[in-house]
Each structure stands twice: as C-alpha cells, then as structure tokens.
Structure 1
C-alpha cells in the first residue's frame, strides 16, 4: 500500500498581501528652496557669496570654497539645454 500525502500547508494571507511602498524621504531645506522658487515661476540657484560660484544641486555649503552664505539668485533664462531627465513614479 501507499502512504497518504500530507495535506498542503495553509497559506498566510498577510504574507501574500503586497505591502504599501514607503513615502519618499523628506526633502532638505535647500531642495525645498529650489521648489519654492519654481512654485512662483522663478528659476533660481544658490550662488556662493564668497566665490560667486553657482551651485546645483542645492547644498548647505559651497562645494568650491566651503562657504555657508548661499543666497538664491535668479538665473538668466537664456541658455542651452544640455540634458533632460524624465522621472516616472507610481503616485
């Protein structure tokens, strides 16, 4: 005679349920400044007061001289587009 097969294990519905994705991380104060300028129709970037270097992406200190005085200044709208990035997201 043959032995009976054991019954299949019960499935765990919680393990099979897709967990919601986590929300994106909080934006830094510097990145929020860039978003705030764009919200009012301005294109402004941080410019170091010490070495006059334009900085992107926004940071807490200048990447050139480590100065921390980085006021937002409007950028001349004339220019050449060098690259474009398209972001896709689920929400």
Structure 2
C-alpha cells in the first residue's frame, strides 16, 4: 500500500493579510502601508514598526525587483517539497520598497547574480490561495 502524497503547506490569511492574498489571487502585488506615517511594510501585520499606528491601507505596487540574496534548498523544510529539491529561494528588494522571499524559477544556480532584475509571478494553488514566485526579468 502506498503512503498518501504529502500535502502542500498553505498560508492561512488573517484579518491583516487578507488584502494581500486577495491581490495575489487577482494577479496584483498589494502592499500594506501605514495610514499614520505612510511607510510600506511587508509582511502584513497589525502594528506599524515605525510609528506604532494600528491603521493601514493596501496599495498596488510594481512587481519588479532585484535579488538581494538567495539560497539553494537541498533539504526541504516540508516533505511536500522533497521532489522539487534542490530549488532556489530568493530574497528580493522590490521596486516598491519592501523585501519578499519566494522561489526563483527558470534560472540556473550558476546564472543567479546579486542585483539581478526579477519579476514577481502568481501561482494559483487553490481557489483562495495564489502564491508568489520570481522569474528573471
């Protein structure tokens, strides 16, 4: 008898992050901005780390950015990803002023460079959840 296939771990949207996930589903990169000081913040959270305001709005931001750093995952944190290993995860300085980490696809490890332009992509996983990934720009 075969063991059941591992399930893909998925995020659980919260009150603070729901607009981000709604935007992802619509193919839009929505970033939380403090209503008090105006600074962008990602990941979405209830309190601004700059001025401690609890008020925020979400604005659509550009999907381009540059690689800040990256790593090759040889030992996945979850069994679901074992078949994909090794895979690359990039930390990207987005043009809108926040950093995002997500898988980098379509680029060989030897061709990755710090400062390389990449673009955010949108992978529908379920009816509710679309996950980010990066590709070379």
State the TM-score, normalized to the length of structure 1. Answer: 0.58
Distance 1:26 1:44 in 2: 17
Structure with more relative contact order (C-alpha pairs < 8 Å, separation 6 or more): 2
Compared CA separation, residues 44 and 25, structure 1 to 2 (3 A): closer
CA change 1:75–1:68 in 2 (3 A) is same
Q: Which runs of 4+ in 1 moved over 4 A?
A: 23-26, 83-89
- Residue 16 of structure 1 corresponds to none
Runs of at least 5 residues in structure 2 that lack an aligned partner in the other structure: 1-8, 81-137
Q: Secondary structure at the match of 1:61?
A: coil
Q: Distance in 1 between matches of 2:53 and 2:18?
A: 20
Q: For residue 84 of structure 1, report the CA deviation from its aligned partner.
A: 5.6
How large is the RMSD of aligned CA atoms in angstroms? Answer: 3.1
Matched, 1:45 2:31: yes
> Which residue of 2 is the match for residue 81 of structure 1?
67
Find out whether 1:61 has 2:47 as its counterpart: yes
Instruction: Give the count of matched residue pairs.
Output: 70
Cα shift readout 1:35-83 (whole Å, capped 9, x = no counterpart): 1110001001101121111011100111111112210011123322324
Higher helix share: 1
Tell me the TM-score normalized by structure 2.
0.41
